[in-house]
Amino acid sequence: MRSIEDFIGVWAISRGLTHADGTQARFNGQAELCRDGAQILYVESGELHMPGAGAFRAERRYTWDEQLNVYFDDGRFFHQIPAQGGDAAHWCDPDQYDVTYDFSNWPRWQAVWRVRGPRKDYVSDSWYARV
């Protein structure tokens, strides 16, 4: 079982994105989780390589809490990471986001998102390794 303390620190990220039409993109970068008062900040930054568009800088931010709840940067609830690994979900009208967390190779871990709906249809496979 994972606790928030297991995630604090810097992680290298390698992410592949595969769209339903077969196009693929790749993100390489890092994520840092650090305490900021009562909350834990998650800041991910790196380079996104998209076919036909080249490469560009990309960043995302979330906040986490002690129960492994993840919130969007604006404070809205996103999902809860299962401490033992496994599945979680988020409905973002009109698209469904389903994730599977795998901690079996800790401290290397994986998050696979499957996004389906009228606006989006892709799989995002992210590997994290402690820096």
pLDDT digits (tens, 9 = 90+) for 8-52: 999 999 999 999 999 999 999 999 999 998 889 999 999 999 988
Provide the token pair at 72.
């969007």
76 three-class SS: coil
Total domain count, the chain: 1
Tell me, what's the pLDDT at 37?
Answer: 86
61 has pLDDT over 90: yes
List, for residues 73-131, the tens digit of each pLDDT value. 999 999 999 999 999 999 999 999 999 999 999 999 999 999 999 999 999 999 999 99
What range defines the domain where residue 40 resides? 4-130
Say which residues have a Cβ less than 8 Å from residue 6's Cβ, sequence separation at least 6.
106, 107
Report the CATH number at residue 52.
2.40.128.20
* pTM of the shown model: 0.94
Residue 117, sorted as left (phi over 0), alpha (psi -120 to 50) or beta, turns out to be left
Q: For residues 16 and 23, is the Cβ–Cβ distance under 8 A?
A: no
